[in-house]
């Protein structure tokens, strides 16, 4: 019912790709076929609805070898495939929109092995064994990475419990109920011979190697996710959790790379820049408060100012807030707002006097050995100095005052 003409065109004997791997997961094949209509199965209704808008559109299907043993690995593989498709410009691969779909095949083995015949005819545990695969169940309707992982986890648990009870598993197609977080039977799954493959006489043979651009395809490939990941971590020294964010968000990744180059790819400076990007820019961007990223050159200049202790971390955040709203060069903003750090101990001493006078009890706690109170006092000094006070000088003077008063 999901293809009007009654049969589906699919590459069978000669796929586009045979073999290969992605993220350590072996790939069986990649082939083309035509898409089916989208079926809607609503709970409580006797009939199903069918949307034919995507029916017969070209579809690429990738099949993996049975080498994935847990839900997390399956989810990570799907995420990496989505990234690859986006980097290649092949598809947006948006799962919620049905541009990329995952159908998970799950089978649980009874931990048995099958002995393979050797040349000398020996059978049994000879080092040539392979595991006996369980009964395969295919789960459909997975439209998010979370659904992929949750469905696999549920189905593994269901199959294990069934086997432990001595029940026989059935090769079938099951759907995923997102609300109940369970799978449900849809239909018995056919074997490959039941599909009745036969050549379509109207379709000519397709030879990829005869495409004029074939020889130059490798040379025109863009930077791929794992290449960018390696560059950010090894080349720029960015920590792994930040790197994954930049690899997933190509616009943000390009911005970070531009900033890194302006910083001379100095790993300490680049990681400092990454800290401000993840804490100040990404948050505002996610809630729509950041229409566009600051100029990379201005942002790099701000990082250099922080590194040179021309401005404090607090002052840098204030400068960045202005850059986000109004733009502008960080040095000019610091001058206008009075955010350049004050290195004059005399001026800073006055701030220390004010802090001790206002927070005498906290100062007394620090004198008695409570180190956490020192950080609070420094923070209050930074507030009174409106971000221009030097935290190192504040710390030095507060320690000196505590020692003097103790004596």
**What pLDDT sits at residue 246?**
97
pLDDT in tens, 1-36: 688 888 888 888 888 889 999 999 999 999 999 988
115, pLDDT greater than 70? no
Residue ranges per structural domain of the chain: 223-337, 345-406
Tell me if 84 sits within 8 A of 225, measured CB to CB.
Answer: yes
Residue 277 sits at φ, ψ, to 5 deg, of: -65, -45
pLDDT in tens, 28-77: 999 999 988 887 777 677 788 888 888 888 899 999 999 999 999 999 99
**What pLDDT sits at residue 120?**
44
DSSP structural state of residue 141: E
Among candidates 335, 399, 333, which has minimal Cα distance to 371? 399
Give the number of other Cβ atoms within 10 Å of residue 334's Cβ: 23
Among left, alpha and beta (phi > 0; psi -120 to 50; other), residue 93 is left
Calculate the alpha carbon distances from 116 to 124, 127, 239, 281 in Å. Answer: 7, 9, 46, 59
pLDDT band of residue 111 (cuts 50, 70, 90) is low
DSSP structural state of residue 333: H
Tell me if 79 sits within 8 A of 87, measured CB to CB.
Answer: no
178, pLDDT greater than 70? yes
Three-class secondary structure of residue 312 per DSSP: coil
127, pLDDT greater than 60? no
Express the helix, strand and coil content of the chain in percent, nearest 5 each. Answer: 45, 15, 40
151, pLDDT greater than 50? yes
pLDDT in tens, 245-283: 999 999 999 999 999 999 999 999 999 999 999 999 998
Three-class secondary structure of residue 45 per DSSP: coil
119, pLDDT greater than 60? no
pLDDT band of residue 112 (cuts 50, 70, 90) is low
156, pLDDT greater than 60? yes
pLDDT in tens, 355-402: 888 898 889 888 888 888 888 998 888 888 877 777 888 888 888 888
Domain 345-406 sits in CATH at 1.10.10.410
122, pLDDT greater than 50? no
Q: Within the chain, how many helices (H) and strands (E) appear?
A: 14, 12
pLDDT band of residue 191 (cuts 50, 70, 90) is low
Diameter over CA atoms, the chain: 100
H helical segments located in 89-230: 145-164, 225-230
Beta strands in 37-150 (DSSP E): 38-40, 49-51, 58-64, 102-106, 113-114, 130-131, 137-142
**What pLDDT sits at residue 190?**
65
């Amino acid at each position: 019912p999901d293809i009007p003409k009654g049969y589906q065109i699919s590459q069978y004997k000669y796929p586009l790709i045979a073999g290969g791997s992605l993220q350590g997961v072996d790939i069986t094949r990649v082939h083309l076929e035509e898409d089916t209509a989208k079926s809607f199965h609503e709970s409580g209704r006797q009939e199903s609805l069918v949307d034919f808008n995507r029916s017969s559109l070209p579809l690429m299907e990738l099949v993996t070898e049975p080498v994935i043993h847990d839900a997390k690995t399956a989810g990570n593989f799907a995420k990496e495939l989505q990234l690859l498709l986006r980097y290649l410009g092949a598809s947006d691969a948006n799962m919620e929109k049905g541009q990329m779909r995952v159908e998970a095949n799950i089978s649980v083995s009874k931990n048995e092995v099958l002995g393979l015949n050797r040349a000398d005819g020996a059978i049994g545990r000879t080092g040539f064994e392979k595991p006996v695969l369980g009964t395969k169940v295919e789960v459909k309707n997975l439209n998010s990475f979370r659904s992929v992982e949750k469905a696999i986890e549920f189905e593994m648990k269901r199959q294990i419990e069934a086997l432990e009870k001595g029940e026989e598993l059935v090769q079938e197609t099951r759907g995923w109920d997102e609300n109940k977080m369970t799978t449900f039977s849809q239909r018995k799954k056919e074997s490959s011979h039941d599909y009745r493959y036969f050549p379509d006489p109207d379709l000519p043979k397709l030879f990829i190697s005869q495409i004029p651009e074939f020889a130059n395809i490798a040379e025109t490939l863009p930077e791929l996710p794992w290449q960018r990941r390696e560059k950010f971590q090894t080349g720029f020294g960015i920590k792994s959790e930040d790197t994954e964010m930049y690899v997933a968000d190509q616009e943000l990744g390009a911005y970070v790379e531009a900033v890194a180059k302006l910083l001379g790819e100095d790993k300490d400076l680049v990681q400092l820049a990454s800290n401000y990007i993840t804490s100040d820019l990404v948050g505002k961007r996610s809630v729509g408060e950041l229409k566009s990223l600051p100029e990379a050159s201005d942002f790099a200049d701000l990082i250099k100012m922080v590194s040179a202790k021309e401005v404090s971390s607090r002052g840098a955040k204030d400068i960045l807030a202005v850059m986000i709203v109004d733009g502008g060069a960080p040095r000019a903003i610091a001058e206008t707002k009075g955010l350049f750090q004050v290195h004059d101990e005399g001026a800073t001493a006055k701030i220390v006097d004010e802090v001790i006078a206002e927070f005498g009890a906290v100062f007394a706690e620090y004198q008695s050995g409570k180190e956490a109170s020192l950080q609070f006092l420094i923070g209050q000094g930074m507030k009174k100095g409106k971000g221009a006070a030097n935290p190192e000088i504040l710390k030095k003077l507060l320690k000196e005052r505590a020692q003097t008063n103790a004596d």
